[in-house]
Amino acid sequence: MGFTSFKSNVEAGDIVIIFMGHDSMFPLYVKKGEISQTKFGAIKHDQIINHKYGTKFTCSRGWVYVLHPTPELWTITLPHRTQILYTADISMILFQLDLKPGSVVCESGTGSGSLSHAIIRTIAPTGFLHTVEFHEDRANKASLEFKKHGLADYVTVYNRDVIKLGFPVTSVADAVFLDIPSPDDAISAAANALKQSGGRLCSFSPCIEQVQRTCTNLRQQGSGFKDVQVFELIRRSCNVKRVFVPMADLGLDNDEVRSKVVGESNVLPSVTQKHAFCCRTCVLPKETYGHTGFLVFATYQPN
Amino acid sequence: MGFTSFKSNVEAGDIVIIFMGHDSMFPLYVKKGEISQTKFGAIKHDQIINHKYGTKFTCSRGWVYVLHPTPELWTITLPHRTQILYTADISMILFQLDLKPGSVVCESGTGSGSLSHAIIRTIAPTGFLHTVEFHEDRANKASLEFKKHGLADYVTVYNRDVIKLGFPVTSVADAVFLDIPSPDDAISAAANALKQSGGRLCSFSPCIEQVQRTCTNLRQQGSGFKDVQVFELIRRSCNVKRVFVPMADLGLDNDEVRSKVVGESNVLPSVTQKHAFCCRTCVLPKETYGHTGFLVFATYQPN
Amino acid sequence: NMADNEINLNTTVILERNSVLKAVKLVANKVIVFEKLRFKPDKAVGCNYGTVFKVTLTPQRSSPWCKRTIANGEMEITDQDLDSLDTNADDAQGKDNRSLVDTHGKSQTIKRENILEMKGEGATGEEIVKCLVENSSSFNEKTSFSQNKYLKKKKKKYLSYIRIQRPNSRLICQLYQEREPAKICNMRMETMSQILTAANIKHGCNVGVVETCSGVVLGSVLEKLGGKGCVVNLHNGESPPNLFAISHFNFPEPDSDKSDNDITMDTVSEQSNGCDKTKGDNDIKVSGKKRRENRLKHQQRAWGVLENKLLDAVVVVCKFHPTPILLCLLDLQLSRPFVVYSEHKEPLMELFVRLSISGSAINLQLTDTLTRQYQVLPERTHPHVMMSSGGGYLLTGLKITNS
Amino acid sequence: NMADNEINLNTTVILERNSVLKAVKLVANKVIVFEKLRFKPDKAVGCNYGTVFKVTLTPQRSSPWCKRTIANGEMEITDQDLDSLDTNADDAQGKDNRSLVDTHGKSQTIKRENILEMKGEGATGEEIVKCLVENSSSFNEKTSFSQNKYLKKKKKKYLSYIRIQRPNSRLICQLYQEREPAKICNMRMETMSQILTAANIKHGCNVGVVETCSGVVLGSVLEKLGGKGCVVNLHNGESPPNLFAISHFNFPEPDSDKSDNDITMDTVSEQSNGCDKTKGDNDIKVSGKKRRENRLKHQQRAWGVLENKLLDAVVVVCKFHPTPILLCLLDLQLSRPFVVYSEHKEPLMELFVRLSISGSAINLQLTDTLTRQYQVLPERTHPHVMMSSGGGYLLTGLKITNS
């Protein structure tokens, strides 16, 4: 299914992403006979089936694009069960954990499954994700979701307290990811899950206090962890817009003023325009995410 | 003298800033009969005297500009006795402390006097700075410097431990600035120095641990402090440069390729240029100051 | 001296409720409407700046023959600590919320209608909060931490504390930044602070200002001059721009007898006439012969500063393309700074290049500043989650001559 | 499986000394020169990746008849923890340095010449450090904290620990970022990571790559394909670009018998011929008939992917203007992503506009990422003082069709 492989046309049972605009997308499970209501009108699923991914689909009050699912689109459209991780952090996590097809990963907690989908995409089909979620309801929902997304072969969800009981597997993981309230209490659990030949660890924390304790424990003599690094990523997305900057009325008919502004070389005639200077510029949104969380990375390499 | 007033021509006894290039400036005390060696050759002080500020001065191997001193130029040219504060932080401190002519300020420690000069500029001639420095040698040097800069009327330097002994004055300050290793231990000293009718406090700390303790103490019931805010400023300076982006050889002679790239509307002929696309862009230096320190601000308003 | 710190009628003050600021002129017996509160300011007179007042809620009675009678609230001095009501902290982060189940507000049996009814019956904020707590099925199951947070949130909503502060450059800047950023060209406080230092604004200097920031820049410069010096305000076209914020600063009126202030806002519209004519208008409402004379005197003085090239600094913070404006005003004294703000980078890049090759400026710097605000609370310390981006750009430099 | 983790001859490894990285191919009995050390790698063979070795210093004897004899150091396994030698932490910050007087190095009586002499006499690093401590007049006056720091600093300089690590995308990226950023278009690690996710690189997909990053991008994409799929590498002009970094990844050679890897680096120079001809070259040094056949097979496969429009992703990370390149390659499959990196914003702004009006792409995002690294140490936690700025820009989007 979509997250680990590609197809060209929509089939019943697929999850697709309906694109109505840059900030208006939602996931849709395609089911024979069903109809979904959108602000652009009804979408009859039967009409989507066999529809080509990436093409327009016309509703009564507008048109949408039917998109192939990817972990990145899923991240921005998924139903939030918790705070989720966003794409800049996810990318850095996958990269710094050295994940690739075949990697075995332990994750806690599963949360809304935003990162889990991205991990599975990267480690499938030969790798495996063991993901632990303390909260029973969330664990069940995540498990169901993975099944619906055709990912059950690559992941097991465990409802478990990782701090008390550790990870369900020992010495098999290439990488461990922690996103729990007390990551510092799970350092030995992480070490146990990791391969004796070594691996990588990442802990995500919104607050610096957790980071401080986590680093202290990672650096403790005999922990087996090395190369502790802490990052924070701020990703800014801008819009390219044409802006018109008005010109002040400086009386350029006056020769004295004109000579000051234009100069001898006449280098920048643009600023002698009467009404407005026009340029293309990058406009940042008024507010952006200034902080998502801190990423702590370390290498496990017991002596 | 220069820091609190303006003059047009250099006089003996002045401190001037010699500008040899954007990253190459130094301060010079003008003294009759003296000669200073620079990379552009010797500067005879007698020739600078009566020289107009802001004009060229020709040395044997190049020319320099003789600039009027300002606290901002002083900050980038002063002899470092300690870590110093830079202009983005200094600006925010002056602004958030509500300083203006007439304000009375208590500072600890004086350090290299970078901030002190900026404070005096802003509060003179009717305000006063009480600045406390633990380190004797530094206190003496700062005191001497203020005298040489004609600022003695607006500032007193005290060699004193502000944590043990508090500020030398009580209930007179409109603002208190702390840049010491344990600002959290100086909160009541700050409160004592501030006017009973209220005032502002700023504490500068390079590390978050100091900030955490300082905020805790500021927020303690009965401290008299309110509106605690913590900022960090990252100022980036860029260079405007013309860059040439080379064009790949795509075989635009081929009609098929050409139609793809140019399109029907021929909107962007610039990209069909053979060899390079030229544009003006902002180039950031490879490395910039990513962190100078944290600024904690609070209002003192005892009930 | 302490009397300086007293709230007076006929001055502008900054009102604060739930971190929202508003500048308002206190007039005897005149109702103030602020953040859903209605009250007369008279009781505040004589209190110190910084005092927190409780304003009783307005009972809103509705009956068949009188849809809604709007009464005024009463002010009452209190020593409530506003910080302790602050619930902006995102306490949830970092807490163990593993076993929480979201009840989606089902635990509260008091509905919006009930609250309106209570208000109509004249219930106090305290009574409403108490009722909400008693009727929340989940309140007792919460941790004391969560109970506290819940109480704070409700108190903030139903108890009506306001603080009255003395206006200054910082608060006026903050007010515009948060409520009407477009009216100050989306400039932020840290940029304002850098403008004042880069332009080396100090007691007694002559500053040329071009701004379209509602007077916030002009007022801030005036504040830092401290009663001596001269600000030449240059504006575009015939009519003076909106300089409403100037009135918030409570500057002594130039012609009032109390004033030892040598400054006025001299608006010289000569720009449109090639710098050879003065023709002014003044935003401070003036009347009477003496005022007119004063105005003329000030305009002539400003004009003299311009004509004799006595400017110590030039500050341009406006919506217009800054290049021609700065080039026109570059006749300031040698070795003096100029500062230009623009919301967009491109116009400043152009000006940067133009000045680099002109030989009339050095130490050119094109900068932007990223401000990170931090929440520092036990176990919850981190940079603010939302950050305002795009605070514009500054170009600073020093006037020199090549000859 | 554990044998996988052993260091072998004829593979490339990453050497690390004092946080400096270098990729080097281990060849039996062949001297490696790295960060002033000279040694043969043979003793490392069979050890686990991650092992730390001590390399004895090279005695440098100089005498009238033999100016300098360069001998090789010896490798020796050790369990030294490299982190404990890390002195990058700016410990001074936040410490009480109020009564410190800078002695400007006057407290050390051992001079540079003495150390060179000791080295010449074959003294070990330990001996040198011990001697330095004994001859420092201020060492005993230092706090134990400062003593520790001093020791660390000297140990780092005179004791020669190296670590041997297994190469991967992360380390190779880091190596170039720190040592030769210009060779990867000044791209940083966080950008590389976003390229891989935005392009949705996964097992078995077909990726079109245009890069001038020494093969770092190509190698990273190949690594994430995990042995299945196809990378079509398109390059400018006749000769293939420098792809040296590819060799660091230790990919199985396509024609070796061990290889179950279906991928090769197919270099198709058809771009310069309007996409109608294949003409390739392969950076992996090949020889022999079988290899040539293999190469041809791979090139044909790559060509097939292009011609049949089977690309699942397009990645452009190069020094060239990206607009015409991406427009040429926009024939990828529908609802598939493309990612374009550029060091400068302006070319991407142009591409952004061009794509917005083309109707062949949606979800366009032009982004940059600010990375803050933190020092987290007791009483010394803060963002790194120096920050690399200007890590370039990314434009990402999804291919769609309007018809």
When computed from its CA atoms, the radius of gyration of chain B, rounded to whole angstroms, is 26
Per-residue pLDDT, averaged over A276-295, amounts to: 88
Q: What is the pLDDT of residue D102?
A: 45
Query: Do D185 and D392 form a contact (C-beta atoms < 8 A)?
Result: yes
Whether the per-residue pLDDT at C11 is higher than 60: the answer is yes
Whether the per-residue pLDDT at D274 is higher than 50: the answer is no
Q: What is the pLDDT of residue C111?
A: 77
d(CA C307, CA C296): 16
Chains that touch A (3 or more CB pairs under 8 A): C, D
D138: helix, strand or coil:
coil
Percent of chain A with pLDDT over 70: 92
Q: Would you call C363 an interface residue with chain B, using a CB distance cutoff of 8 Å? A: yes
Query: Do A76 and A85 form a contact (C-beta atoms < 8 A)?
Result: no
Residue pointed to by tokens 């407005």? A276
Tokens of A266: 């006449």
CB within 8 Å of A195: residues ≥ 6 apart: A171, A172, A173, A174
In C236-295, the residues whose Cβ lies within 8 Å of chain A are 236-237, 271-276
Q: Which residues of A touch C354 (CB under 8 A)?
A: 263, 267-268, 271
| D51: closest CA of chain B, how far (Å) | 32
Of C85, C98, C135, C95, which Cα lies nearest the Cα of C114? C135
Q: Would you call C64 an interface residue with chain A, using a CB distance cutoff of 8 Å? A: no
CA distances from C112 to A3, C87, C105, C109, C149 (A): 45, 21, 12, 10, 20
Q: Which residues of C touch A207 (CB under 8 A)?
A: 93-94, 379-382
What are residue C73's DSSP bridge partners? Answer: C39
- For A155, list phi and psi in degrees, rounded to 5: -150, 145
Whether the per-residue pLDDT at D198 is higher than 80: the answer is yes
pLDDT band at D284 (very low <50, low <70, confident <90, very high): very low
pLDDT band at D238 (very low <50, low <70, confident <90, very high): low
Q: Mind listing the pLDDT tens digit for each residue in A144-189?
A: 999 999 999 999 999 999 999 999 999 999 999 999 999 999 999 9
d(CA D313, CA D200): 7
Q: How many residues appear in chain C? A: 403
What are residue D33's DSSP bridge partners? Answer: D38
Q: What is the pLDDT of residue C362?
A: 95
Of A95-99, A271-275, D223-227, D305-309, give the lowest mean pLDDT range.
Answer: A271-275
Q: In whole angstroms, what separates CA C203 from the centre of its chain?
A: 23
Whether the per-residue pLDDT at C20 is higher than 80: the answer is yes
Q: Is A91 annotated as a binding residue?
A: no
CA distances from B24 to A292, B86, B102, B285 (A): 40, 17, 35, 16
Per-residue pLDDT, averaged over C90-94, amounts to: 43
Per-residue pLDDT, averaged over A83-95, amounts to: 93
CA neighbours within 13 Å on the CB side: how many for A224? 19
Closest Cα in chain C to B97: C170
Tokens of B93: 């401190």
Percent of chain C with pLDDT over 90: 42
Query: Do C29 and C183 form a contact (C-beta atoms < 8 A)?
Result: no
pLDDT band at C136 (very low <50, low <70, confident <90, very high): confident
Whether the per-residue pLDDT at B139 is higher than 90: the answer is yes
Percent of chain C with pLDDT over 70: 75
Whether B210 sits inside 8 A of D390 (CB atoms) is: no
Percent of chain B with pLDDT over 90: 75
As to burial, measured by CB atoms within 10 angstroms (0-12 exposed, 13-18 middle, 19+ buried), residue B200 is buried
Whether B291 sits inside 8 A of D379 (CB atoms) is: no
Nearest to A206 among C101, C273, C382 (CB): C382
Q: Would you call C104 an interface residue with chain A, using a CB distance cutoff of 8 Å? A: no
pLDDT band at D95 (very low <50, low <70, confident <90, very high): very low
Per-residue pLDDT, averaged over D7-11, amounts to: 93
B26: helix, strand or coil:
strand
pLDDT band at D272 (very low <50, low <70, confident <90, very high): very low
Whether the per-residue pLDDT at B286 is higher than 60: the answer is yes
Positions of E strands within chain A: 15-21, 24-29, 35-38, 41-44, 56-59, 62-67, 104-108, 128-133, 155-159, 175-178, 199-205, 225-246, 276-283, 287-289, 294-300
CB within 8 Å of A70: residues ≥ 6 apart: A2, A3, A121, D200, D337
Closest Cα in chain A to C93: A206
What residue ranges of chain D are covered by domains with CATH 3.40.50.150? 169-399
Substitution target in D4, D52, D193 with the highest count of A β-carbons within 10 Å is D193
pLDDT band at D124 (very low <50, low <70, confident <90, very high): confident
Domain assignments of chain B as residue spans, ordered by start: 15-69, 74-234+290-300, 239-283
Q: Is B113 annotated as a binding residue?
A: yes
d(CA A149, CA A151): 5
- For C157, list phi and psi in degrees, rounded to 5: -80, -40
CA distances from C20 to C36, C178, D63, D79 (A): 12, 8, 81, 59
Per-residue pLDDT, averaged over C288-311, amounts to: 71
Whether the per-residue pLDDT at B68 is higher than 80: the answer is yes
Q: What is the pLDDT of residue D151?
A: 75
Fold of D169-399: Rossmann fold (3.40.50)
Element (H, E) at A145: helix A136-148
Q: Would you call D362 an interface residue with chain A, using a CB distance cutoff of 8 Å? A: yes
ipTM, 2 dp = 0.90
Q: In whole angstroms, what separates CA B255 from the centre of its chain?
A: 58
Closest Cα in chain D to B243: D344
Of A49-58, A209-218, B92-101, D117-126, give the lowest mean pLDDT range.
Answer: D117-126
Higher pLDDT, C155 or B59: B59
CATH of the domain spanning B15-69: 3.10.330.20
Whether the per-residue pLDDT at D257 is higher than 70: the answer is no
d(CA D84, CA D77): 17
Per-residue pLDDT, averaged over D211-235, amounts to: 90
Q: Which residues of C touch A261 (CB under 8 A)?
A: 323-324, 327-328
Of A2-16, A154-168, B96-110, B277-291, give the lowest mean pLDDT range.
Answer: B277-291
Element (H, E) at B296: strand B294-300
Per-residue pLDDT, averaged over D64-93, amounts to: 61
Per-residue pLDDT, averaged over D219-248, amounts to: 85
Tokens of B136: 């004797």
Neighbours of A21 (CB within 10 A): 13
Q: What is the pLDDT of residue D128?
A: 78
CB within 8 Å of C30: residues ≥ 6 apart: C40, C41
CA distances from B257 to A51, D319, D320 (A): 30, 20, 17
CATH of the domain spanning B74-234+290-300: 3.40.50.150
Q: Mind listing the pLDDT tens digit for each residue in D383-397?
A: 998 887 778 999 999
Substitution target in C96, C98, C209, C277 with the highest count of A β-carbons within 10 Å is C98
Q: What is the pLDDT of residue D61?
A: 52
Whether the per-residue pLDDT at B59 is higher than 80: the answer is yes
As to burial, measured by CB atoms within 10 angstroms (0-12 exposed, 13-18 middle, 19+ buried), residue B239 is middle
Of A159-173, A271-285, C216-230, D28-42, give the lowest mean pLDDT range.
Answer: A271-285
Whether B245 sits inside 8 A of D354 (CB atoms) is: no
Q: Which residues of C touch A142 (CB under 8 A)?
A: none
Tokens of D267: 């270099």
Whether A254 sits inside 8 A of C273 (CB atoms) is: yes
In D134-193, the residues whose Cβ lies within 8 Å of chain B are 181
Whether the per-residue pLDDT at B156 is higher than 70: the answer is yes
Residue ranges of alpha helices (H) inside C208-344 are 216-225, 289-307, 322-329
Substitution target in A266, A271, A294 with the highest count of C β-carbons within 10 Å is A271
d(CA B299, CA B96): 10
What residue ranges of chain C are covered by domains with CATH 3.40.50.150? 170-399
Chains that touch C (3 or more CB pairs under 8 A): A, B
Whether D385 sits inside 8 A of B291 (CB atoms) is: yes
Tokens of A253: 């008919």
CB within 8 Å of D14: residues ≥ 6 apart: D21, D22, D23, D24, D164, D165, D166, D167, D171, D172, D175, D248
Count chain A–chain D contacts defined by CB atoms under 8 A. 186
Q: Would you call D91 an interface residue with chain B, using a CB distance cutoff of 8 Å? A: no
Q: Mind listing the pLDDT tens digit for each residue in C210-245?
A: 999 999 999 999 999 988 888 888 877 666 678 899
| D111: closest CA of chain A, how far (Å) | 33
Nearest to B237 among C192, C366, C370 (CB): C366
Nearest to B124 among C83, C203, C399 (CB): C203
Whether C378 sits inside 8 A of B125 (CB atoms) is: no
Closest Cα in chain D to B263: D358
* B60 dihedral zone (left: phi>0; alpha: psi -120 to 50; beta): alpha
Q: Would you call D354 an interface residue with chain B, using a CB distance cutoff of 8 Å? A: yes
- For C139, list phi and psi in degrees, rounded to 5: -55, -45
Whether the per-residue pLDDT at C115 is higher than 90: the answer is no
pLDDT band at A247 (very low <50, low <70, confident <90, very high): confident
Query: Do C361 and C402 form a contact (C-beta atoms < 8 A)?
Result: no
Q: Would you call D367 an interface residue with chain A, using a CB distance cutoff of 8 Å? A: yes
Whether the per-residue pLDDT at B230 is higher than 80: the answer is yes
Q: Which residues of D touch A230 (CB under 8 A)?
A: 373-376
Substitution target in B8, B91, B117, B303 with the highest count of C β-carbons within 10 Å is B91
Query: Do C25 and C31 form a contact (C-beta atoms < 8 A)?
Result: no
As to burial, measured by CB atoms within 10 angstroms (0-12 exposed, 13-18 middle, 19+ buried), residue C66 is exposed
Closest Cα in chain A to C275: A257
Of A155-169, C95-109, C123-137, D214-228, give the lowest mean pLDDT range.
Answer: C95-109
C170-399 falls under which CATH superfamily?
A: Vaccinia Virus protein VP39 (3.40.50.150)
Nearest to A245 among C347, C357, C373 (CB): C347
Query: Do A178 and A211 form a contact (C-beta atoms < 8 A)?
Result: no
CA neighbours within 13 Å on the CB side: how many for B284? 22
Query: Do C38 and C70 form a contact (C-beta atoms < 8 A)?
Result: yes
When computed from its CA atoms, the radius of gyration of chain D, rounded to whole angstroms, is 26
d(CA C26, CA C44): 9
pLDDT band at C387 (very low <50, low <70, confident <90, very high): confident
Of C116-120, D20-24, D258-262, D345-349, give the lowest mean pLDDT range.
Answer: D258-262
* C153 dihedral zone (left: phi>0; alpha: psi -120 to 50; beta): alpha
Q: Is B112 annotated as a binding residue?
A: yes
Of D394, D367, D201, D401, which Cα lies nearest the Cα of A70? D201
Mean residue pLDDT of chain D comes to 78
pLDDT band at B137 (very low <50, low <70, confident <90, very high): very high
Whether the per-residue pLDDT at D280 is higher than 70: the answer is no
Whether the per-residue pLDDT at C294 is higher than 70: the answer is no
- For D191, list phi and psi in degrees, rounded to 5: -75, -45
Whether C197 sits inside 8 A of B96 (CB atoms) is: no
Q: What is the pLDDT of residue C254?
A: 56
Handedness of CA C32, C36, C38, C43 (dihedral sign): negative
Substitution target in A89, A249, A264 with the highest count of C β-carbons within 10 Å is A249
| C233: closest CA of chain B, how far (Å) | 20
Per-residue pLDDT, averaged over A202-209, amounts to: 97
Q: What is the pLDDT of residue A2?
A: 78
pLDDT band at B218 (very low <50, low <70, confident <90, very high): very high
